[in-house]
Chain A
């Protein structure tokens, strides 16, 4: 049982929360322009990180607010909890001037070689997350979780 510190309600048992999967996956900026491969990436492909993972949680039986969490998927240690729309705290510290770009690296280029699936999808998926978080950050009403 995880003990999760909800930013609004304080420490509560895991049973009060609902898991929301990978964080920082923005809705495509140009949905009508996506090909099948790119839709597959958006709908079905998520990072499955062994180690520090940025993920979303919903305090479903408490304040009913979404928030983000950095959690180690091996030890299950919770490292950081931060608001929807904010950049990953660990990546932001590593690259202070453009913290938002780090989500792109996280989701597509962690392998040593570039993924060999159609090159078009790489460019599109890497541009989408790198631009979208800055959009959602400046937006006041629509963090990426709001569409789920």
Chain B
């Protein structure tokens, strides 16, 4: 566990400018993905006359609500490529952004509880290795060695039969990641405009030429949507549909404890994922609520279910108290893979569908989406994640394949 202190930072990391009447590009959504996109547009493509519009406060949506897990152990080649690229960026970003957001590569373990899990896990370890992703298969005693508080006895409903392990995976301080990107964006000249809600789009034929907001109309040549759970709402304003369903996803933290949990443990089968934050909270999440929802809250039985799983796997958690629970709105696709690319509207681009796993993809989403916006064509890494795959049938089905329900 790290005893590192979070860095002190100045009172203001970015300006709060009034929106200008026009920009070369407008990014809708001031969360991690929107800020990363703006950063890479400015840094890699020299587009600095751009704005990020955020309807609330900066990084107050899913960027503030996720469980901060970063990993790249996906089964399929397309996913491994983009998530591994993201992980490589995570490894250099603290230096590049000159901001230590405590990226802690403490490893991520994905438990196997059934023979089917074991076979799937070993297959995935092999696939990961072929794709240059670090991965190991652990037997139960090795699981215990790495995470002593895990119950590996066989007297529980779903005993631990082993785990995959990615040593380079880990967690980071999500708020600080957003602030790091925001500060660099601001330095590069990007306008970050909070409390600016998009209410519609101005189109010339099928080409977007402006964004209507509660703070006036902003002319722009290009629009990039980074609105996660609200992507469908924006697409509808622009006149097209997305194969997205928005669901509540909840997470929770315990009160602070001394360091007991040295890594990140995820279990797909009993369904909980747990890490311990730098300050000492146990951070847990699980699956989405079944129904469509925009309410940023879910049902309590979902939390009860994940707590039952957590307590069985980690008996010492039984007396920990829940400090806080919350929900975000995640944008799920039917193949559990993101959509990054062009849209039926000219000069409008979309980055969405990251579902329950968008945080880890932040740097790669930003890099590839910026490339797509700047050049009008996808980056090699996001080409397979085009909207068209739902027509061609070239789905990237990570649903059963990803290390955890996703």
Give which listed residue, A36, A50, A55, A116, contacts B294 with CB less than 8 A: A50
Q: Which residues of B contact A2 (CB under 8 A)?
A: 291, 299
Q: Which residues of A contact B290 (CB under 8 A)?
A: 18-19
Interface assignment of B216: CB less than 8 Å from any CB of chain A: no
Q: Which residues of A contact B390 (CB under 8 A)?
A: 40, 43-45
Query: Which of the segments B89-97, B232-240, B273-281, B308-316 contacts the partner chain?
Result: B232-240
Interface assignment of A37: CB less than 8 Å from any CB of chain B: yes
Give which listed residue, A18, A37, A48, A110, contacts B245 with CB less than 8 A: A48
Q: Which residues of A contact B345 (CB under 8 A)?
A: 116
| Contact A111/B239 with A50-B230, A116-B206, A116-B345 known, Cβ cut-off 8 Å | yes
Question: What's the nearest-Cβ distance from chain B to residue A31, in Å?
Answer: 16
Quick check: A112 and B241 within 8 Å, CB to CB?
Answer: no
Interface assignment of A46: CB less than 8 Å from any CB of chain B: yes
Interface assignment of B200: CB less than 8 Å from any CB of chain A: yes
Quick check: B301 and A115 within 8 Å, CB to CB?
Answer: no
Q: Which residues of A contact B230 (CB under 8 A)?
A: 50
Identify the closest chain B residue to A37 (Cβ): B391
Interface assignment of A114: CB less than 8 Å from any CB of chain B: yes
Interface assignment of A14: CB less than 8 Å from any CB of chain B: yes
Question: What's the nearest-Cβ distance from chain B to residue A120, in Å?
Answer: 13
Interface size class of B (residues with CB under 8 A): 20 to 34
Question: What's the nearest-Cβ distance from chain B to residue A123, in Å?
Answer: 15
Interface assignment of B295: CB less than 8 Å from any CB of chain A: yes
Question: What's the nearest-Cβ distance from chain A to residue B298, in Å?
Answer: 9
| Contact A14/B299 with A45-B243, A111-B236 known, Cβ cut-off 8 Å | yes
Tell me the complex Cα distance, A46–B232, Å.
10
Interface assignment of B72: CB less than 8 Å from any CB of chain A: no
Quick check: B299 and A53 within 8 Å, CB to CB?
Answer: no
| Contact A113/B301 with A44-B334, A76-B295 known, Cβ cut-off 8 Å | no
Quick check: B200 and A112 within 8 Å, CB to CB?
Answer: yes
Return the CB mask of A103-122 against B: 1 if under 8 Å, else 0: 00000101111111100000
Quick check: A73 and B292 within 8 Å, CB to CB?
Answer: yes
Residues of B278-302 at the interface with A, using a CB-CB cut-off of 8 Å, are 290-295, 299-301
Give which listed residue, B237, B243, B291, contacts A44 with CB less than 8 A: B243
Q: Which residues of B contact A146 (CB under 8 A)?
A: none
Q: Which residues of B contact A45 (CB under 8 A)?
A: 241-243, 390
Interface assignment of B375: CB less than 8 Å from any CB of chain A: no
Return the CB mask of B235-264 against A: 1 if under 8 Å, else 0: 011111111111000000000000000000
Return the CB mask of B292-335 against A: 1 if under 8 Å, else 0: 11110001110000000000000000000000000000000110
Interface assignment of B344: CB less than 8 Å from any CB of chain A: yes
**Which 9 residue pairs across A and B have the least CB separation, nearest first?**
A48-B232, A113-B239, A19-B290, A44-B243, A40-B391, A111-B239, A116-B344, A40-B390, A44-B390
Given contacts A115-B240, A115-B344, 20 further A-B contacts (CB under 8 A): A13-B301, A14-B299, A19-B290, A19-B291, A46-B243, A48-B244, A50-B230, A50-B246, A50-B294, A73-B292, A73-B294, A74-B294, A76-B293, A111-B238, A112-B200, A115-B239, A116-B206, A116-B240, A116-B345, A117-B344
- A interface residue numbers (CB < 8 A to B): 1-2, 13-15, 18-19, 21, 36-37, 39-41, 43-46, 48-50, 53, 55, 71, 73-76, 108, 110-117
Chosen A-B contacts, 18 in total, with CB atoms closer than 8 Å, are A1-B301, A2-B291, A2-B299, A21-B245, A37-B391, A41-B241, A43-B390, A44-B243, A48-B233, A48-B244, A48-B246, A50-B230, A50-B294, A73-B294, A74-B295, A110-B236, A112-B239, A117-B241
